[in-house]
Chains A and B, each alone.
Chain A
Amino acid sequence: MAEKKLMKGNEALAEGAIRAGCRFFAGYPITPQNEIPEYMSWRLPAVGGAFVQSESEVSAINMVYGAAATGVRCMTSSSSPGISLKQEGISYAAGADLPIFIGNVMRGGPGLGNIAGAQGDYWQATRGGGHGDYRTFVMAPNSVTEMANFPHKCFEVSFKYRIPSMVLADGIIGQMMEPVEFANPELDPAKFIEPEWALGVNNGRAKRIVKSYDLREGYLEVMVNERVKRYKQIEANETMYEEKMMDDAEIAIVAYGTSARVSVAAMKLAREKGLKVGLFRPITLWPFPKARLVELSKRIKKFLVVEMSLGQMVEDVQLSLNGRAEVHLHAKPGASVMTAEEVYKTMDAIVKKGAKEYAAAK
């Protein structure tokens, strides 16, 4: 095994993208993700790629749109306010079936918010954010190693199903350092097969058009329905999650990213005090691991969603379970992080007092 390296989450994401064959990056600086463009600025030229610090987020996303249309593995990154600016471009990429990859290191919002880590952009990431009926493949890392390895999966899914993909991290995962293990082989873009839709030199082949519209009557419906088929395949084939101590669990925490890290600590605390707690961690936020949650609800009747927001993912848990089990929420908005003790207290209250009393006490 290669020597472990201590890396920042942001650096690991950039290196992971390059190892997955990314050769074009465009972006505009914003905290807490500045290490991504910084890393790309020296690393990409070293592997024959191109780095552009654009004049704005809007131009960056459109540069990536253009690069993706030629079949190149390409990426942009930003943090919450910057991702808002990119939404038009993401919608167009979804409409044109372009495999762009986006790194989003969430900070406090709404508006300019602050620069601390947060999870307030779950809805934006999983519900589209831009206009129109579309989906984005969204992965939520909870460690620096996952930051390093998820770009590989994102590019794979993006190119296989022609869909934009996103790594949705938070400022803490982006800024922290941990030992990293790169799990995937380093890919050589020279060996990639050119996609059959990619633009480039014609050489007498049939004309190819990349566009996000069809103005002929009824044709947009055909176009969107064809896309929906791919979305269904992604839901069936690419849903990912992790479970910890779920075998005998009587209450399940549902959390992703930094919240999931804190929840592990809370779970250990609870186990020491005799509460049978497990952790269910969605790794893909879209597709959301609905089916597994439903399966778990046959045995587990209490779920606690822990997130650094007003409560966004909790709606996906409620939609998935559809009344099959109690769904509680430990919310921490405003770009602050809950402590393990706080989460433990919430669990204790839910288990001891029962759902109704707990709700009344709040």
Chain B
Amino acid sequence: MYQGIKISGFGGQGVISAGYLLAQAGMMEGKEVSFFPAYGAEMRGGTANCSVVVASEEVSTPIVSTPDTAIVLNEPSLAKFEPTVKPGGLLIINSSLVNSKATRKDIKVLYVPCNEIANELGNAKAMNMVALGAFAGATGAMSVDAIARALPKVYKKLKPEVIELNVKALKRGAEFKVN
């Protein structure tokens, strides 16, 4: 089993922490993992991305150049990463902020209104968890429970009720199915 994942969006959308969380969850599941953040001049409102690998064997390169799954949370990320997805791979698009549609026919595409769902749940910041939930549900590479268990390890200062809200966001995301 090998999943190379690219997560991309605006700085402040929780791109980096979502990647960190996936790696933590994978590690706790006994998988081999790596996490590599783009560490350029990222800032709130700028663009940020990170690479995560979750695998059953030793991870060779931590840089994911052709992802099995790309999660794009904003418009510029779609243009940048849609062409890089492996044929047969998965593209998860945050349809709340991305108006364009994917053009490739050789990949699976999942549109998830991450911001809207997070807002419904009462905290806009949980939008990255909706996206991760969709990843878990659509790929089966990781369970929602595994990600939920990793939450307190990564967000050490979060109150239990906030953790619970994030778990709800994960579950809502996992309801989306690839057509």
Give residues in A with beta carbon < 8 Å to B. Answer: 4, 6, 31-32, 115-116, 171-172, 175-179, 258, 261-262, 264-265, 268, 337, 339-340
Contacts and interface: CB of A to CB of B under 8 A. Distances in A.
A171 B37 CA distance: 11
B60 interface: yes
Nearest to B57: A268
A262 B53 CA distance: 13
B35 A177 contact: yes
B34 interface: yes
* A-B pairs, 5 with minimum CB distance: A265-B60, A264-B60, A177-B35, A176-B36, A262-B61
B60 A177 contact: no
B24 interface: yes
16 contacts: A6-B23, A6-B35, A31-B39, A115-B39, A115-B40, A172-B36, A172-B63, A177-B36, A178-B35, A179-B32, A258-B63, A261-B61, A261-B62, A262-B60, A265-B60, A340-B61
Contacts of A264: 58, 60-61
B142 interface: no
B39 to A, nearest CB: 5
Contacts of A115: 39-40
Interface in B17-42: 20, 23-24, 27, 32-37, 39-40
A339 B65 contact: yes
A264 B59 CA distance: 9
A115 B37 CA distance: 13
B60 A261 contact: yes
Contacts of A177: 20, 23, 34-36
Contacts of B33: 6, 178-179
A258 B36 CA distance: 12
Nearest to B32: A179
Contact of B62 (A4, A32, A172): A172
Identify the interface centre among A115, A178, A268, A337: most chain B CB within 10 Å of its CB: A178
Interface of B: 20, 23-24, 27, 32-37, 39-40, 58-63, 65
B108 to A, nearest CB: 22
Identify the interface centre among B20, B60, B65: most chain A CB within 10 Å of its CB: B60
A32 B40 CA distance: 9
Contact of A178 (B34, B39, B63): B34
A340 B63 CA distance: 10
Contacts of A262: 60-61, 63
A20 B44 CA distance: 38
Contacts of B60: 261-262, 264-265, 268, 340
B62 A176 contact: yes
Contacts of A339: 65
B141 to A, nearest CB: 17
A172 B37 CA distance: 9
B27 A179 contact: yes
Nearest to B31: A179
Identify the interface centre among A4, A32, A258, A261: most chain B CB within 10 Å of its CB: A261
Nearest to A171: B39
A265 B62 contact: no
Contact of A176 (B24, B27, B34, B58): B34
A332 to B, nearest CB: 12
B6 to A, nearest CB: 14
Contacts of B40: 115-116
Given A6-B23, A6-B24, A6-B27, A175 B37 contact: yes
Nearest to B62: A176
Contacts of B20: 6, 177
B56 to A, nearest CB: 14
A171 B58 CA distance: 21
A176 B35 contact: yes
Nearest to A175: B39
A125 to B, nearest CB: 22
A6 B32 CA distance: 11
B61 A265 contact: yes
A4 B61 contact: no
A191 B27 CA distance: 36
Contacts of A31: 39
A266 to B, nearest CB: 8
Contacts of B23: 6, 177
Contacts of A337: 61, 63
A261 B63 CA distance: 10
A51 to B, nearest CB: 23
B50 to A, nearest CB: 10
Given A176-B34, A262-B63, 18 more contacts: A116-B40, A172-B36, A172-B62, A172-B63, A175-B37, A176-B35, A176-B62, A177-B20, A178-B33, A178-B59, A179-B33, A258-B61, A261-B60, A261-B61, A262-B60, A265-B60, A268-B60, A337-B61
Contacts of A6: 20, 23-24, 27, 33, 35
